[in-house]
Chain A
Amino acid sequence: MAYPSMGEAHRRITDYLNNFSDAVSYQDVASLAQLFSFSSNSPPLLSVADALNFFQDANRLIKQSEKFSQYGEILAPLFRSLQSYRTGNLVDAYHAFEKFANAFIQEFRNWESAWALEALYVIAYEIRVLAERADRELASNGKSPEKLKGAGSFLMKVFGVLAGKGPKRVGALYVTCQLFKIYFKLGTVHLCRSVIRSIETARIFDFEEFPRRDKVTYMYYTGRLEVFNENFPAADHKLSYALTHCNPLREANIRMILKYLIPVKLSLGILPETSLLEKYNLLEYHNVVQALKRGDLRLLRHALQEHEDQFLRSGVYLVLEKLELQVYQRLVKKIYFIQKQKDPSKAHQLKLEVIVKALKWLEMDMDLDEVECIMTILIYKNLVKGYFAHKSKVVVLSKQDPFPKLNGKPVNS
């Protein structure tokens, strides 16, 4: 043990208590926040943890002075949590931390100003990552991991404390983002809905007044939700916001935004340049983009197969699969242009059997009826303008703009 004496341990613990009490008295939030930041594993914090494990009876020190004992409900569980954290008992550490955090928000509620927000941010973050580690401990002992869910319930309570009127509301978005991280991890994203409603319908608080880091995180997660809902214009708006405002030095975050924004943009007919895919190592999209440019249905199929696991995990597979119609459009357009070069007067008459032949070349065996069905869909979705002459098995293309562009709008559904 790094402690030469009981006296030294005593001194460290008393210093910590004084730091806490001073930070609250002087509303020094930076110092206060440091005292709770377990995951920083800062040497001062670890040495207090060691002192607590050595001294064992820290409650006596809390009770020794009114200055400390008035915060006993906060400090006693905080000490217990720190002790367990240091000895690696993360489930115990989590339980005590939740007790401490509940006592802290009681106090926080009573403070009129928002001076302690930053300390609350640290608590919100710490409880989430501690819960994740506690769940890992539980799962490895064959028990059911449930702490992260508990952390979610706690953070909903914190959200309630912040989301009303008044100066504390500026902190609501930070807590929302921590909740999103929990819900996305647990696969309970439907729980995002009520917090989103509360953030977006509030007339008393303008979204732009939230801190930028929270706005970017919020737009990333709500953008991902819009991707799952297949609401591509909204997803485009949110993810583009996140991309525009993200710290450019945070390349991992920019990459994650692009991972979702690219399929969204593709479905709106907008393609990323190769340089962008290279810079952020998103080459899994390269062949998808090429397939769209060429009208190469075979390449699209291969690209989807090759990265199937990846696309399924991030939930963009279905979005990419739907690009098939755009690729069909492009292929038909190519056939049209090739015909036009040979004989402009007849180019707008497209024989189905010609399309069948092109598809066969792309290893897609379809008969005339199936191709007729595809062409009907393309016309219905306004990707092709024209009509179908059923008897002669010919698509007659409109002379004006036979292949309307999407221009940033989704394919008609």
Chain B
Amino acid sequence: MATEQPKPATEEVKLDLFEDDDEFEEFEINEEWDNKEEGKEAMQQWEDDWDDDDVTDDFSLQLRRELENNSEMK
């Protein structure tokens, strides 16, 4: 009879225990690459002055409408 509790699937969990989704790919022992072009592209695609005080985007226009709905803003 089913008196014994079914064992939880611990093995499955164990197999999954040791994981690092972001393990860095191994470079070859003698892997060489050109120092000049490397990574530059990815280093340039950032904006540190993105805060341009623009309030004409959709979100801002909706916000404005929302705030003006009541006459509380003078």
Contacts and interface: CB of A to CB of B under 8 A. Distances in A.
Given A244-B39, A334-B63, A346-B74, A184 B23 contact: yes
Interface in B29-74: 29, 31, 33, 35, 37-43, 45-48, 50-51, 53, 55, 57, 59-60, 62-64, 66-67, 70, 72-74
Nearest to B22: A256
B46 A272 contact: yes
A253 B55 CA distance: 38
13 contacts: A135-B18, A181-B24, A184-B23, A213-B31, A244-B38, A244-B40, A245-B39, A248-B41, A253-B24, A260-B22, A272-B46, A276-B45, A333-B51
A312 to B, nearest CB: 11
A56 interface: no
Chain A CB count within 10 A is highest, among B29, B53, B64, for B29
Interface residues of B, number: 46
Chain A CB count within 10 A is highest, among B14, B70, B72, for B14
A111 interface: no
A271 B63 contact: no
Given A125-B26, A185-B18, A408 B47 contact: no
Nearest to B64: A338
B55 to A, nearest CB: 5
Contacts of A343: 74
Interface string A232-254: 00000000100111111110111
B4 interface: no
A186 B18 contact: yes
Interface stretch (A42-50, A353-361, A367-375): A353-361
B72 A354 contact: yes
B63 A335 contact: yes
B33 A338 contact: no
A258 B47 contact: no
Chain A CB count within 10 A is highest, among B24, B40, B47, B57, for B24
Interface stretch (A69-77, A137-145, A156-164, A192-200): A137-145
Contacts of B27: 213, 216-217, 247, 250
Mostly helix, strand, loop or mixed at chain A's interface?
helix
B9 to A, nearest CB: 11
Contact of B50 (A217, A293, A296): A293
Nearest to A293: B50
Chain B CB count within 10 A is highest, among A213, A272, A351, for A213
A225 to B, nearest CB: 13
A247 B22 contact: no
A271 B39 contact: no
Contact of A338 (B24, B41, B63, B74): B63
A72 B45 CA distance: 57
B51 A405 contact: yes
A335 B18 contact: no
Contacts of B40: 244
A254 B51 CA distance: 27
Contact of B39 (A248, A269, A361): A248
A259 interface: yes
Contacts of A224: 22
Contacts of A216: 27
Contacts of B28: 213
A397 to B, nearest CB: 14
Interface string A335-368: 1011101110010000101100110010000000
A239 B42 CA distance: 12
A252 B25 contact: yes
A313 B21 contact: yes
Interface in A44-89: none
Contacts of B20: 181, 184-185
B2 interface: no
A181 B50 CA distance: 36
Contacts of B42: 243, 254, 258, 276, 280
